[in-house]
Amino acid sequence: MPTNVGRRLQRGYWGTVLRRFLRHRLAVTGLILLLLLVFAAIAAPWLSPYNPYEMDVMAFGAPPSPDHLLGTDSVGRDVLSRVLHASRVSLLVGLGAVTLNVVIGVLLGSVAGYAGRRIDSVIMRFTDMMLSFPPLMIILVLVSILGPGLANVVLVLGLLGWPRICRLIRAEMLRLKEQEFITAATALGVPGPRILFRHLIPNAFPPVLVAATFGTAQAIIIEASLSFLGMGVQPPTASWGNLLTDAQSMGVLGSMPWLWIPPGLFIVTAVLSINFLGDGMRDALDPRLRD
């Protein structure tokens, strides 16, 4: 009987969340756009009309035409195929970096919040120090040292982006720790790690999910910026950012807009839809979090 009530209450919570989310029109639009992008990324090899590395010797820097819907770049590669393949790289970087952020942030933050005292203050001072680094500066330095490239960009973004999640989950821990169901679990003799992983962390997850969503958008922008500066994903592998690198020359910028406008619009669409999604999720999961 009690489990029944519990299950119904639980369904009630997620039902409410879903209803609140669907009411948020921009968030639903964002979700649909994002799903389309993810689909385009996964299906890139089948959707692309050409091989993204193949050069068409008949068309160097050709403007959009029925043959090449978005034109070709200066060495004759099909822009549409390159943008589609770039989606895989850019979305993967965003997801990979944020996964690392969440793992590190949740581990450190929950331990700090649950253990308290000495451990808490050591972890939090470290977090404060990480936060006082000017982010892009240190990312640029690290990436240029490790050498640019896909894996290193994910690693650097993943290792530097966790402090915010860490603080968030620590605050949640401090709040939840005082609640009765935790006292009950402790009184029942449930071991500490089990309380932490089965009772505390799952309950602290909604705000983390929201932060991770916004974090993904952030990571995509930073990856694009790095690749744009030539310090991120290296050509010939295409990422949304490095497709725009050539547009730094006034000649390309002015005379070949088909080269840089499509990848730019992909970045904006991705980031915007993820941010809308995050906005909707925040309102749906926990209305208290609304700013």
Partner 1 sequence: MSRYLVRRFLIILPVLIGITFINYGIINLAPGDPVDLMIDPNMSQADKEVRREALGLRDPFLIRYARWMGELLRGNLGYSFTTFEPVTVRVGRRVGPTLILMGTAFVMAYLLAVPLGILSAIRPYSWVDYLTSFMALIGVSLPTFFTGLVFTYVFSLRLGWLPSGGMQSLGGGGGLADLVRHLILPASVLTLTNIGLVLRLVRSSTLEILKQDYIRTAWAKGLPERVVVFRHALRNSLLPVITMAGVQLPALIAGSVITEQVFQWPGMGWLTVQAILSRDYPTLMALNLLAAIMVLGGTLAADLMYAVIDPRIRYD
Residue 46, Cβ neighbours under 10 Å: how many? 7
Nearer CB in complex with partner 1: 134/193: 134
Nearer CB in complex with partner 1: 29/186: 29
Residue 14, Cβ neighbours under 10 Å: how many? 11
**110 contacts 170 by C-beta, under 8 angstroms:** yes
**163 contacts 105 by C-beta, under 8 angstroms:** yes
Least separation in angstroms between residue 149's CB and partner 1 is 13
Q: How far apart are CA 100 and CA 156, in angstroms?
A: 10
Least separation in angstroms between residue 275's CB and partner 1 is 5
Residue whose pair of structure tokens reads 């008949």 in the numeric block: 58
Residue 141, Cβ neighbours under 10 Å: how many? 13
Least separation in angstroms between residue 130's CB and partner 1 is 10
Spatial CA neighbour of 138 closest among 208, 231, 213? 231
The distance in angstroms from the start CA to the end CA of the chain is 39
CA 113 to chain centre: 25
Name the strand (E) or helix (H) holding 168: helix 163-177
Least separation in angstroms between residue 178's CB and partner 1 is 25
Least separation in angstroms between residue 289's CB and partner 1 is 11
For residue 67, the one-letter residue type is D
Tokens of 140: 């640029």
Residues in contact with partner 1 by CB under 8 A are 26, 128-129, 132-138, 140-142, 144-145, 147, 217, 221, 224-225, 228-231, 244, 247-248, 250, 253-254, 257, 260, 264, 267-268, 271-272, 275-276, 279, 291
Least separation in angstroms between residue 216's CB and partner 1 is 12
